[in-house]
Amino acid sequence: MKRYQMSESLPVGLLLALAGGILDSYTYLNRGQVFATAETGNLVLLGIHLAQGELGRVLSCLFPILAFALGVLTTEGLRRRLSSGRVHWRQPILAAECLVILVVSFLPQGDLDALANVLIAFTSAIQIESFRKFAGCGCATTMCTGNLRSAADNLYAGLALHDAPALLRASRYLSVVLVFVLGAVAGAFLTQALAEKAVLLC
């Protein structure tokens, strides 16, 4: 069995997908109906709010999009600086993500929702930019459209072309999608019980 760098192992990918599902559910239900980890959803909401002339809601979608872009730029800069260190460059980046989520848990709901969404979008970008591959499969842990496409593509290759490795890849992609959905379910229940503190599970 092929061994992968620990941060690229499937269990790590599944844990990050769980966190991604929780965060999307959390921000949508608790922080003003924004998908802070999935910017495609925010771009759609931004377009709808523009069409309806709701400029305040346009900004609530625009800020997480900009924070996500900034998070990608920041991660790339940090990766280059930290790559020569004694610890793997993903470890301090993941620690920073955890710290930001801790800060979000102390932001009360209401007036500070926009700040919470910006911080979560920023950390989501860090996560998606830092963790791109698990068990040899390139996938995302904060959104699932690409994972679903890859699962279906590999499933076809496995079933129609009798490609056994493709079936294994399909199962990995599907497991990430399933765990993401389970995270969204858990996030929905947790937000009802714990309000802004629900994010701490991540």
What is the predicted pLDDT for the residue at 35? 84
**pLDDT tens for the chain, residues 1 to 202:** 556 678 889 999 999 999 999 999 999 999 988 888 878 888 999 999 999 999 888 988 899 999 999 999 999 888 888 877 777 888 888 898 899 999 999 999 999 999 999 999 999 999 999 999 998 899 999 889 999 999 999 999 999 999 999 999 999 999 999 999 999 999 999 999 999 999 999 8
For residue 123, which amino acid is it? T
Give the pLDDT confidence score for residue 19 in this predicted structure. Answer: 94
Which amino acid appears at position 87 of this protein?
V
Predicted confidence at residue 96, as pLDDT, reads 87
pLDDT score at 81: 84
- Specify the pTM: 0.90
